[in-house]
Amino acid sequence: MALHNDDRKILKVLGEQYMEYASLSIHDKKIDLWKSLNRSAMERPMVCIDQLPWNELNDQGELTCFINDPYWRGIEMELRQTLYKWRHFPVDMVLEPFITIPRVFSDTGFGLTSDIDSISLEKDTTAAARHYNRVLKNDEDLDKIGLKHIVVDEKSSMRFYDEAEDIFRGIAPLVQSHGYQFHLGIWDNLSEFIGMEEVYYEFLDRPEFLHACLERLTDSVIQGIKDVNEQAFSNDISPICHCSYVYDDTFLPSPGQGKGPLTQNSWAFGLAQLFTAVSPQKFAEFEIPYISRMAEYFGNIYYGCCDRLDDRLDLVKTIPNVRKVSCSPWSWRKEFAENIGRELIMSNKPTPAFLAMEQMDWNEVRADLQYTVDLARENHVNLEFILKDISTVHHDPQRLSRWAEIAMEVVES
């Protein structure tokens, strides 16, 4: 699809606005603070905001995209969303001093297609409710799980990069993305293929079937890892893994300066969210062996998301190369802080439920954040806050800005 002159003008203006902010010296200080945290020598807790209800935030039109070409519309959207976050709730964001141009690739996935029924009452939402109909029913269906194959399209990648050089010449330096970042949470996939309710019954009725599925999915991911390494396509220069900044002294000491596009130089993230309702013993049997096989291929691992992990941190610590561990709203923060230790990073997820209330209680927000900071201080824990999974702000975007102000006041006090 041809890129029109008006499209180019849009990208040029966005590029100029981005570079105006990305050139500020504050980013060097932020990188130093992130590196201190990530070497487990925190100067202060760090703060991020991500995974937003974009459908509720565009009251001023800042997020409206105009470009039709799918590739360049993605660039436009990324720039608009980044600028929006920086202008309204920057917290500890880092804007790198270049524009990243993604490479083009194909990913076969696992060879299965989810059968989904939407059950959302709202049509315009970034957090749609879904029901997953079962597509993985018995041993005969195991053959449906294929090996993941990831293939870089170098010709298309270079075509877009050359076009980007023409668009942003004299405006912004460019860096071509080194590629792929791995999501190792195969339980998310398995629950989609079996169905959330039914997968719990399988723990009781057919545990051997679950293990067979997990073996197939793990083998598939490992094949994808091998494909990526053969093509030198791992994203070792991504500054973010699972909403958290990953600058450190070894793997990413400065923007764009990774150790090479192989998985052993890169971050990946894993999770098993449905295990919040499953015992640590089942977690040890059905998650640890499989995540460990995948995690050993990477330089660093961010583990967890919405799962409760305070009651199984001893198991999480056995995952190869784990560095950051999610402390979700379903974890008991006191037990988590007492048991995470001084080497790993407590990646706390403040509850986004406060932002969804009809009336905001900002004193409650402040007290909740301060409680976590106090626990971290008492236990000598390295702490970051990541406000994420925000499905609604009650159609009041200013709530995010006020939350950001309070969070920065708390961590800088």
pLDDT per residue over 78-89, tens digit each? 999 999 999 999
Residues 6+ apart with CB under 8 A from 71: 104, 160
> CA 70 to CA 287: how far, in whole Å?
37
Name the pLDDT band for 145 (thresholds 50, 70, 90). very high
Residue 121, pLDDT score: 63
The first and second tokens of residue 306, run together, are 């919405």
Place of tokens 């409680």: 371
Query: What's the pLDDT score for residue 117?
Result: 79
- CB-count burial class (<10 Å; 0-12, 13-18, 19+) for 93: buried
Percent residues over pLDDT 90 in the chain: 93
At residue 119, the pLDDT reads 75
The whole-number pLDDT of residue 118 equals 75
The predicted structure's pLDDT at residue 123? 66
Please calculate the CA angle 184-382-252 and round it to the nearest 5 degrees.
Answer: 55
Residues with Cβ within 8 Å of 362's Cβ and at least 6 positions away in sequence, in order, are 402, 406
Tokens of 281: 């013993």
Taking the complete model, does pTM exceed 0.85, yes or no? yes
**Pairing verdict, β 130-133 and 115-118:** antiparallel
For the domain made up of 5-412, give the CATH fold: TIM Barrel (3.20.20)
Is residue 12 scored above 70 in pLDDT?
Answer: yes
The pLDDT assigned to 131 comes to 82
The helix, strand and coil proportions of the chain, stated in percent and rounded to the nearest 5, come to 45, 15, 40
pLDDT digits (tens, 9 = 90+) for 64-114: 999 999 999 999 999 999 999 999 999 999 999 999 999 999 999 999 988
- Could you tell me the pLDDT band of residue 132, with boundaries at 50, 70 and 90? confident
> Rounded to whole angstroms, how far apart are CA atoms 217 and 331?
27
